[in-house]
Amino acid sequence: LTGYSNNYIINMIIMFLIIAGGIGFFTWDDIYTHKFHIKRYRMQSKIILTTTALLIILPAVLFFLCNFKELPFGKRLILSLFQSVTPRTAGFNTADISSMTDSSQAVMILLMFIGGSPGGTAGGVKTVTVTLLAFAVLATVNGREDVELGHRRVSMENVMKGVCVILLQVFFLVLGTFAMCCVESDVPFIHIMYETFSALGTVGLTMGITESL
C-alpha cells in the first residue's frame, strides 16, 4: 500500500478493518449488545479494548517522533498510525520499514510478537495473555499470591497457560532466528529477527529480504 500512503480515506478504512478483525468476535458481540455501556462488557473485552488502544497510540507516538521528519504533519501522522496498527495482524505497510529507525523496528517486532486478541483473526501470543502475565508479574513484585484483574481473581491455571503460550512462542522464535542466522550469515541480525517474528506471528511484513532468502 506504499502507493496509497497519501490517500487518507484508504488508510483509515484499512486501519479500521485491521482493528476490527484483530479485537475478536466476542468483543464485537459486547459492542453490538451493550453499545456504549462499557461497564456491562465482559472483562476480556475491556482488557482487549484498553490494550489495543495503548498498543496503537504509544507506538504511533514513537514512530511520529523518530521517523518521517521530512514529511508534512498530516502524512507523518497517518504513516505513524498505520505502521502502529499493521504489525499486530495485517502485514500491509505504507512506508519503507527498512528505512525506519532501529528503535521503531524493535517496537514493530514486539507488536508482531503480541499480535491481536483472542477470538479474532490475528496471530501472536494475544493481548489478553500479555496483560495477564503483566499483572502476574506485578502481583509477584508486590508480594501477593493472587493475580487480580479488575478486582477479579485470576486462577493459577490461566496464568500458567499464559506462561506456556509465551514460552513456546519465544522458543520457536529463538530457534527460527538461530537457524536463519546460520543460513543467512550476510543478512543483518535485526532483519532476520524481523523476518522470523513476522513469519511466526503470521503478519507478512518484511524489510525486503524475503525474496532473496
pLDDT tens for 48-57 read 999 999 999 9
**Alpha helices, DSSP H, located in 36-95:** 43-66, 73-85
Residues 6+ apart with CB under 8 A from 102: 190
Residue 209 has pLDDT above 90, yes or no: no
Residues 112/201, Cβ–Cβ less than 8 Å? yes
Model pLDDT, residue 88: 86
pTM over 0.85: yes
Question: Which three-class secondary structure state does DSSP give residue 106?
Answer: helix
Task: Tell me which H or E stretch contains 181.
Answer: helix 156-183
Q: What is the mean pLDDT of the chain?
A: 92
Model pLDDT, residue 113: 94
pLDDT tens for 87-139 read 988 889 999 999 999 999 999 999 999 999 988 888 899 999 999 999 999 98
